Structure 1
Amino acid sequence: MSTTPIEFINTPDQLRQAAATMAECQVLCVDTEFHRESTFYPEFALLQIYGNGQCWVIDPITIKDLAPVWDIMLNPAILKVFHAARQDIEIIFNEAGGLPLPLFDTQVAAALLGYGQQVGFGNLVQRITKKLLPKGESFTDWKARPLTKKQMAYAADDVIWLMPVFQHLKERLEAAKRTQWLQEEQQTLCSPETYQPNDADAFWRVKGFNRLKGRHLAVLQEMAAWRERSAQQRDIPRRRMIADEPLLELARRDLLDIETMQRIRGINAGFIKRFGDEIIACWQRGMERTEESWPSMEARRSNTHGTDLRLEMLDTLVRLKAEEGEISGTILASKSDLSALASWGYRCKGEPPEVACLHGWRYELVGHDLIRLLRGEICLHLNSQTGMPEISPYEQAQ
């Protein structure tokens, strides 16, 4: 791997030649370097691609038109491999106007094989190939030019070592008959809607949103949507418009005017002068909304009627299934999924809640048995010889 040729691409002619070589590859490993500290959208600084034993490090700062390589990324005949693909795909989607399909996310694949739900790339490389990747350039300024040899090598490693990781995970997925699981898990990554977020959903990302309810949550929704649009228009981080804490404080007020805003920490006079009227208009719209239009918040679940005990039983079942399937329990069923099921399980009336563990491969592996456990069709008991919990049909346990 250390002898892999690395070509730095910073002219249109080099890019066209590299793209012609890439077009002959069946699989390409892809990564990007970017900064997002002072902007709303990622500042694209570097594109790394590896295929057929060659690595290209492409400079999007010098080359303004990357059309030849975007054609490669959008070519459906070439598989694109990423690790933790979400932000890399966002850049490609914004720059190329499409999604790099088909794709393979090694972080998602690793989670399906028991490596942990969000395993880091360096950790995964070390566990699969025994190679320890250097970390010295983790906080480098990728927009600075010229790049040093260490920076180039560090950037190239992210795609050179991605290939053996991909090959290993692909073989294991096929052997375990979990390839379809990966396709299901990547549906969100492969959807254009993922990279065209709805302003109306921005309030879910406000820290502390769950402390509001009803009309005040509707106010927060209006204000967060305004902040999202304003930050996008100015290409600045959301917090530079207004931070979460003062936004939340504005939304919980029963009365809001300029004088009230002046007494809230984290809101300066310049912001109030420029945007105060717009904020008040958002607050007014939220307060005037009818109850039917308020964001729905799942009610806090009571601990009565044995809900906590059911939750423990469900969690035990998930852990047994995770151990049996050599997979992380957290990817099988989240705590919120299990809480919803435990609450529904008090009477098991009506349809079960809409939770991820009751769909697709998760339903086959654990969801069906979670429902059966709640309905009393199966039970958990201790094996008298091993002392370990086991799953049995209720009649057999009797």
Structure 2
Amino acid sequence: MSESKFQFINTPSRLEQACIEISRCKVLCVDTEFHRESTYYPEFALLQIYGNSQCWIIDPIEISDLTPVWKIMANPEILKVFHAGRQDVEIVVKESGAMPLPLFDTQVAAALLGYGQQVGFGNLVQRITKQELAKGESFSDWKARPLREKQLEYAADDVIWLMPIYQHLKERLEALGRLSWLEEEQFTLCDPATYDMDEATVFWRVKGSNRLKGRQLAALRSLAAWREQQAQRNNIPRRRMIGDEQLIEIARRDKLTLEAMGRMRGVNTGFVNRHGDTILEVWQAGRDTPEESWPKLPARRHNSRGTDLRLEMLDTLVRLKAEEGEIASTILASKSDLSELASWGYRCKGEPPEVACLHGWRHELVGHDLLRLLRGEICLHLNPDTGMPVITEFSTTPSL
């Protein structure tokens, strides 16, 4: 079955021949298999490509130089299709040094068409094509060689079925005039800066960083940057160096000693012996940072009179617009965005908060009306015939 369903490419000569055929495709469906449980960087184990009714499974363990295929992936004349492609793109960038642009992410596209914000590939295939994909190899060891036939068939399905999914979603986006929405939603995914870990800002990703402030945040910034460097150097997960909870505990301390560090839960003696002195230096350097350069949390808006009621009204409007547009309400506006707007809406003075729902296609679909609702230019009332909320200009008296 393997010869008819896919070509397995595990030698340089076969790769060279395959790339001649791959380069003729205008659209390529792409997926990777990798492991990341015990490393900082993903361990690249397999590359699957589908185009022009052909499937190629390329073995990056047996073939050390994939330059021919990376040149194709960087070709701006060829569209690359991924599903939930963040980590796949990261692998391509790391291995080739180039972004695989232009690209089309079917998970992002599906979210814009009402399939849910993070719909899985198998779920999407079943809903669109009624095909049930095999799940037996989900937790395969993709680094082990030789690969079994079932593994290869499973890997091939991930790109073979990606093509009809892409075609269906693209047609629907075009019919609804939402292709420009997809470009907006993919901005971060297509931005090379997304794949460059900025050590100066990585501390914001530490769970619990929003509980710190001032000098504590400055200490956390230094500690998180040090952890990132060490994790990269040793190619181990951040948590294997030191966990987020312990990093937060160290950062919030006003006084820190090796003895105190050794008594912290989750910090073992070996870690203190190896890195304790360095941790003290990094912690102190962060705390000694001038106050004007301390990190600052976004200003929080305080709940004002009627904030909860305004939030309910805003949420109702978003759900109404989501139903009209056949799109998930959480994609239109997050709860935190609506909370910001509800707080600002007490007096509606000054510029509205910088929230995603007031920009781009979201502003057109719902953001403009959210502001109008807060300013009293429109209102919501129940249609007596359907019992559903409807939007009415405030100057118009609803019919009863």
TM-score range, shorter chain: over 0.9
Q: Which residue of 2 aligns with 1:123?
A: 123
- Deviations 1:21-80 (Å, cap 9, x if unpaired)? 011111010000000011100000000000111110000001000000001100111110
Corresponding letter in the other structure for 1:312: E
After TM superposition, give the deviation of residue 2 of structure 1 in Å. 10
Is the CA contact 1:250–1:261 (under 8 Å) kept in the aligned structure 2? yes
Corresponding letter in the other structure for 2:355: V
Q: Which residue of 1 aligns with 2:174?
A: 174
- Root-mean-square deviation (CA, aligned residues, Å) is 1.4
Partners of 2:246 and 2:287 lie apart in 1 by 18
Q: Which residue of 2 aligns with 1:154?
A: 154
Is the CA contact 2:181–2:361 (under 8 Å) kept in the aligned structure 1? yes
Unaligned runs of 5+ in 2: none
After TM superposition, give the deviation of residue 363 of structure 1 in Å. 0.6
SS at the partner of 1:154?
Answer: helix
Q: Which residue of 2 aligns with 1:29?
A: 29
Q: Which residue of 2 aligns with 1:361?
A: 361
After TM superposition, give the deviation of residue 309 of structure 1 in Å. 1.0
Partners of 2:2 and 2:346 lie apart in 1 by 59
The count of aligned residue pairs is: 398
SS at the partner of 1:392?
Answer: strand
Matched, 1:93 2:116: no
Matched, 1:278 2:288: no
Closer, same or farther: CA 385–244 of 1 in aligned 2, 3 Å = same
Partners of 2:50 and 2:338 lie apart in 1 by 41
After TM superposition, give the deviation of residue 264 of structure 1 in Å. 0.8
SS at the partner of 1:397?
Answer: coil
Q: Which residue of 2 aligns with 1:165?
A: 165
Is the CA contact 1:379–1:397 (under 8 Å) kept in the aligned structure 2? no
Q: Which residue of 2 aligns with 1:188?
A: 188
Q: Which residue of 2 aligns with 1:67?
A: 67
- Deviations 1:323-354 (Å, cap 9, x if unpaired)? 00000111111111111111111111111111
Q: Which residue of 1 aligns with 2:334?
A: 334
Partners of 2:310 and 2:293 lie apart in 1 by 33
1:133-282 to structure 2, matched below 5 A, reads 133-282=133-282
Corresponding letter in the other structure for 1:76: P
After TM superposition, give the deviation of residue 99 of structure 1 in Å. 0.5
Matched, 1:287 2:276: no
Alignment identity in percent? 72
Closer, same or farther: CA 4–79 of 1 in aligned 2, 3 Å = farther
Matched, 1:42 2:42: yes
SS at the partner of 1:220?
Answer: helix
After TM superposition, give the deviation of residue 190 of structure 1 in Å. 0.8
Corresponding letter in the other structure for 2:35: H
Partners of 1:70 and 1:11 lie apart in 2 by 16
Is the CA contact 1:4–1:55 (under 8 Å) kept in the aligned structure 2? no
Is the CA contact 1:188–1:194 (under 8 Å) kept in the aligned structure 2? yes
- Deviations 1:118-168 (Å, cap 9, x if unpaired)? 000000000000000010000000000001110000000000000000000
Is the CA contact 2:199–2:225 (under 8 Å) kept in the aligned structure 1? yes
SS at the partner of 2:34?
Answer: strand
Corresponding letter in the other structure for 1:278: T
Q: Which residue of 2 aligns with 1:110?
A: 110
Q: Which residue of 2 aligns with 1:382?
A: 382
TM-score by length of 2: 0.97
Partners of 1:221 and 1:358 lie apart in 2 by 30
Unaligned runs of 5+ in 1: none
SS at the partner of 1:188?
Answer: helix
Is the CA contact 2:110–2:169 (under 8 Å) kept in the aligned structure 1? yes
Q: Which residue of 2 aligns with 1:394?
A: 394
SS at the partner of 1:81?
Answer: strand
Partners of 1:204 and 1:120 lie apart in 2 by 28
Corresponding letter in the other structure for 2:55: C
Greater than 4 Å deviation, 4+ residue runs: 1-4
- Deviations 1:172-204 (Å, cap 9, x if unpaired)? 000001011001111111110000021122222
Is the CA contact 1:4–1:53 (under 8 Å) kept in the aligned structure 2? no
Stretch of structure 1 that moved more, 236-245 or 285-294: 285-294
TM-score by length of 1: 0.97
Corresponding letter in the other structure for 1:243: G
Is the CA contact 1:31–1:158 (under 8 Å) kept in the aligned structure 2? yes
Closer, same or farther: CA 246–112 of 1 in aligned 2, 3 Å = same
Matched, 1:344 2:344: yes
Corresponding letter in the other structure for 1:155: A
